[in-house]
Amino acid sequence: MKLLIAFSLLIVLIVFQEQISCFSLSKPASPGYYQDGDFVIGGIFSLRVTAGDTRSRFGFKDTIYIPEYVYVDLTKHYQHILAMVFAIEKINKDTNILFNMSLGFYLFNVDFIDMKAVESSMALLSGQSPPVPNYSCRPEKTDKLVAVIGGISTGISTQISRVLSLYNVPQISYAPFDQSLGTGVQLQSPYQFPVHTTALYQGIIQLLLYFSWVWVGLVVPDDVRGELFLRDITEEMNNHGLCVAFAEKVPEFPAKDTVNRELFMERFTLTRVIVAFGDTYSLLRFVYNIFCNTPFGNVWVTTSDWDITTLPFQQNLGYTYFGGGLSFSVHTDEILGFKDFLRSVQPRKYPQDIFIQDVWSNLFECPYLDQHWIRELSQCEQNGNLSTRPLHLWDMNTSPSSYKIHAAVYAVAQALHEELSLIVEGDLLNKGIPRAPLPGKLHPFLQNGQLGRSTNEETVVNKEVSATKLDIFNYQSLQSGTKAQVKVGEFVFESHSVQHFSLNDELITWGEHHSQTPFAVCSQSCTLGFRKSPVEGKPFCCFDCLPCPDGEIANETDMDQCIKCPEDQYPNKQRNQCLPKITAFLSCEDPLGAVFISLAISFSAFSAMILGLFICYRDTPIVRANNRNLSYLLLVSLMLCFFCSLIFIGQPRTVTCVLRQTIFGVVFSVAVSTILAKTFIVVVAFKAIKPGSTLQTWMVTRVSNAIVFCGSIIQVCICTVWLGTYPPFPDVDVQSEFGQIILWCNEGSTLAFYCVLGYLGFLASLSLLIAFLARSLPNSFNEAKTITFSMLVFCSVWISFVPAYLSSKGKTVVAVEILAILASSAGLLGCIFLPKCFVILLRSDDLPKKKFFK
């Protein structure tokens, strides 16, 4: 009996505690806006950014109420509430949708505070604010709840879902699409309106490519969604040759500001174009930092989730901080009648709307004191039309979030219609007014619509979007002084290979800082004739411009590598074009060739004159001395040496190339061998032969002739081997002279060529040595000194020839060899025969009467 009494008392205490919980906590810490109906849709919105109030959030501890500090009033977000009210009013006017039943709503403002979102979610379930967990204090409200629309961000939506998923209540989030939303919830995740994020990325990339903006800064919220965007857009930018100048991660407002001011200023001063991804709240800290600094004059590329027209902080309203910005917005059709509805909104029309008081006060600057506010309303009635408000406070165009909320209400209404249709088919309406269906029964109908939801593995989209159309808006100041978002283009994305981008440049204005399209580059473009050179430690968009090396051109801007001209072409001075080369060789028309021809003919004629002089004075002792026949041979060979230089002038051909070196080698070997024989005669004449010995004179003559023959025949053999193995041939040189193709004779065998020169050097050195030894002999008719001097000149010329020949290019090679031939031949002619000519012509009376050889 005692046990039964104790159990009864426990039941009474529990019931009493429930009543205490429901009615003793009726103090409205976070009141909602309620309108009754047969079915109720909950709405959770965010109209302000406040400091928050974590004291006694669930009413377990009695505290003194302290008003929250309001950082920002987002008056434009009131359109979200009006979109829901407008949709519900339209549905209620159409009796066919809900079978003569009505929709109601229960709306809360949670101010971007997670704890308020949890509290409001529980208030929707319990019918009481502040809520009582697991209690239904007002069944007339809670039993009618069929779905909840909210919240505005991923964080708020997640907190709502943690509560509603426990009770299987459908939740439709109007936050920007987030693949990770709800993946941490164990039960039901929120429904979302799926957006083709790839289309957004491609639209931004196409816009950057259209204006050639390759050096771009990125601004993202410091959360998972920002990290995903940063990863994906960076990859896309790199694939299209675009560079990320910096990536700024924005902490949540009003968290402690950890921004490095100097770095912040440097980044946004040096980078002209900024791509910002996020929503109005997640980028609030960033906007605050922008307003706290001198305007940088950046061009902003963003999405409609961040309303750049909103000015949340006090600032100079005459300056458009984000003027000229370009924003992408998913294309939506205008909601019919919504603008007219907005124009009709007045506080007196909705006296139960607890949110319109704050909004109207901020929009029209109307002071009020709580319950006496209506009395002060007359001050604002004359301008009490939302269409008169400036863009930074109110926008008459339907925002993307309002469009989602409107669509969400109709999605819930359609699901109710489907559920009620099943009830009608079951003929259950005749049994009385039906109660609202359990919220969980709407899931199958919602899942068949255009909504999507996330799981821990993937995002499920019920209806695949075949094509995504994005509108491009430009934020600009009109001539009337008002500001507006003007549509300037669109981007249609079906796949990576099928996409259409269009933009009207003439409609775009770039704000106060730019009168024309701004540049966004790390380095200025490399002009024609220059190539890009990467800068160590910087992205590939940063580079130096280096001129193309010799023989290469750059015929386009920003070339990574210069290209070589074909062998028959050469680059112009600007190195941006290849020009056809002209063929060049040492010709008769060439001034240098004409000079050489003149010299060769002159020296040959001079040699012929000396030969004629010697023939005329052939019986004089000075001519007869040292074998006049050798003198004749030497003069003839020198004449041929002068003439052989003419073969080097003119266009090289196979015959001339073969004759050049062979004639040169043989003729010079004859000349030098003759000098060697004359030197031998001098030595023998003074050392070994007695005067008047005819036999010995005959033997000396024979030996000298043998010396000339042997010395020449050896050179002939060398040339024969040369011609038989690897003879000279005509060739072209496209590298030596800029802009010219040099026609020249390739020596064929370089070894054979230097063997010819080496053999001439050997003969000359031998003659020099013998003549040097005979320098002390009697002076009368002694040619030893003149031969010594001539051999010194000869050897000096050809020793100098070798380095000059090796270091020369083009026509200069031929000129050097001709010059060496003429100089050495002239040296021999002058040193050996000029003294004799002087004696013959000017001092013939002084000639001795004694004869050396008969």
Beta strands in 674-801 (DSSP E): 729-733, 740-746
Asked whether residue 371 carries a pLDDT value surpassing 50, the answer given is: no
At residue 41, what are phi and psi to the nearest 5 degrees?
-110, 125
pLDDT of residue 284: 79
Asked whether residue 569 carries a pLDDT value surpassing 90, the answer given is: no
Inter-residue contact 168 to 441 (CB < 8 Å): no
**Which residue's entry shows tokens 């992408």?**
328
Asked whether residue 706 carries a pLDDT value surpassing 70, the answer given is: yes
Asked whether residue 477 carries a pLDDT value surpassing 90, the answer given is: no
Q: Taking residues 699-727, what's their average pLDDT?
A: 87
Give the count of alpha carbons within 13 A of 443, CB side only. 15
Query: What token pair was written down for 751?
Result: 């070894």
Inter-residue contact 158 to 93 (CB < 8 Å): no
Spatial distance between the Cα atoms of 371 and 5, rounded to a whole number of angstroms: 50
pLDDT of residue 608: 92
For CA atoms 674, 679, 683, 686, the dihedral sign is positive
The 10s digit of each residue's pLDDT in 493-504 is 988 888 899 999
* Of the listed ranges 224-238, 314-328, 332-346, 484-498, the one predicted with least confidence: 314-328
Inter-residue contact 77 to 152 (CB < 8 Å): yes
Q: Which carries the bigger pLDDT value, residue 279 or residue 231? A: 231
Strands 273-276 and 215-221: parallel
The 10s digit of each residue's pLDDT in 792-814 is 888 889 889 888 888 888 788 89
Q: Which carries the bigger pLDDT value, residue 591 or residue 462? A: 591
Asked whether residue 351 carries a pLDDT value surpassing 90, the answer given is: no
Q: Which carries the bigger pLDDT value, residue 159 or residue 290? A: 159
Asked whether residue 373 carries a pLDDT value surpassing 60, the answer given is: no
**Which residue's entry shows tokens 């193309």?**
548
**Highest mean pLDDT out of 8-17, 792-801, 840-849:** 792-801
pLDDT of residue 544: 92
pLDDT of residue 141: 57
pLDDT of residue 334: 87
The 10s digit of each residue's pLDDT in 36-91 is 998 999 999 998 887 764 333 333 344 444 456 677 788 889 999 999 999 999 99
pLDDT of residue 313: 63
Going by pLDDT thresholds of 50, 70 and 90, the confidence category of residue 195 is confident
What are the Cα distances from residue 409, in Å, to 80, 83, 145, 454?
A: 12, 9, 13, 20
Spatial distance between the Cα atoms of 758 and 783, rounded to a whole number of angstroms: 25
Asked whether residue 405 carries a pLDDT value surpassing 90, the answer given is: yes
pLDDT of residue 627: 75
> Which residues touch 264 (CB under 8 Å, ≥6 apart)?
248, 289, 293
Inter-residue contact 596 to 649 (CB < 8 Å): yes
The 10s digit of each residue's pLDDT in 730-766 is 988 877 777 788 888 888 888 998 899 899 889 888 8
Inter-residue contact 252 to 222 (CB < 8 Å): yes
Q: Which carries the bigger pLDDT value, residue 313 or residue 783? A: 783
Asked whether residue 1 carries a pLDDT value surpassing 80, the answer given is: no
> Which residues touch 181 (CB under 8 Å, ≥6 apart)?
154, 157, 158, 173, 175, 189, 190, 192, 454
CA–chain centroid gap for 170, Å, is 47
Side chain identity, residue 807: S
pLDDT of residue 479: 74
What does the DSSP 8-state code read for residue 9?
A: H
Inter-residue contact 622 to 838 (CB < 8 Å): no
**Which residue's entry shows tokens 């979030």?**
401
The 10s digit of each residue's pLDDT in 551-568 is 899 999 889 999 998 888
pLDDT of residue 452: 58
* Of the listed ranges 169-178, 394-403, 450-459, 573-582, the one predicted with least confidence: 450-459
Asked whether residue 847 carries a pLDDT value surpassing 80, the answer given is: no
What are the Cα distances from residue 625, in Å, to 17, 709, 772, 799?
A: 154, 21, 19, 31
* Of the listed ranges 51-65, 392-406, 409-423, 445-459, the one predicted with least confidence: 51-65
The 10s digit of each residue's pLDDT in 37-49 is 989 999 999 988 8
> Which residues touch 838 (CB under 8 Å, ≥6 apart)?
none
pLDDT of residue 170: 92
pLDDT of residue 809: 81
pLDDT of residue 58: 35
Going by pLDDT thresholds of 50, 70 and 90, the confidence category of residue 17 is very low
What does the DSSP 8-state code read for residue 651?
A: S
pLDDT of residue 360: 86
Mean model confidence pLDDT for the chain = 80
Q: Looking at the DSSP assignment, which residues form a beta bridge with residue 493?
A: 468, 499
423, containing H or E segment: helix 400-425
What are the Cα distances from residue 586, in Å, to 122, 594, 657, 681, 824?
A: 102, 9, 13, 41, 20
pLDDT of residue 244: 92
Spatial distance between the Cα atoms of 447 and 360, rounded to a whole number of angstroms: 38
Asked whether residue 767 carries a pLDDT value surpassing 80, the answer given is: yes
Query: What token pair was written down for 843?
Result: 């001092």
Going by pLDDT thresholds of 50, 70 and 90, the confidence category of residue 252 is confident
Q: Specify the 3-state DSSP secondary structure of 417.
A: helix
80, containing H or E segment: helix 78-93
Going by pLDDT thresholds of 50, 70 and 90, the confidence category of residue 691 is low
Q: Taking residues 458-471, what's their average pLDDT?
A: 63
pLDDT of residue 177: 82
Spatial distance between the Cα atoms of 280 and 283, rounded to a whole number of angstroms: 6
Going by pLDDT thresholds of 50, 70 and 90, the confidence category of residue 603 is very high
Percent of the chain whose pLDDT exceeds 70: 79
Spatial distance between the Cα atoms of 156 and 173, rounded to a whole number of angstroms: 9
pLDDT of residue 413: 92
Q: Taking residues 368-379, what's their average pLDDT?
A: 50
Spatial distance between the Cα atoms of 426 and 259, rounded to a whole number of angstroms: 64
**Which residue's entry shows tokens 């987002």?**
74
Going by pLDDT thresholds of 50, 70 and 90, the confidence category of residue 670 is very high
Spatial distance between the Cα atoms of 591 and 588, rounded to a whole number of angstroms: 8
Asked whether residue 852 carries a pLDDT value surpassing 50, the answer given is: no
Q: Which carries the bigger pLDDT value, residue 753 or residue 478? A: 753
Inter-residue contact 141 to 106 (CB < 8 Å): yes
Bond before 580 cis per omega within 30 degrees: no
The 10s digit of each residue's pLDDT in 88-138 is 999 999 888 888 889 999 999 998 888 899 999 999 988 765 555 555 565
* Of the listed ranges 166-175, 427-436, 781-790, the one predicted with least confidence: 427-436
Inter-residue contact 321 to 330 (CB < 8 Å): no
pLDDT of residue 10: 40
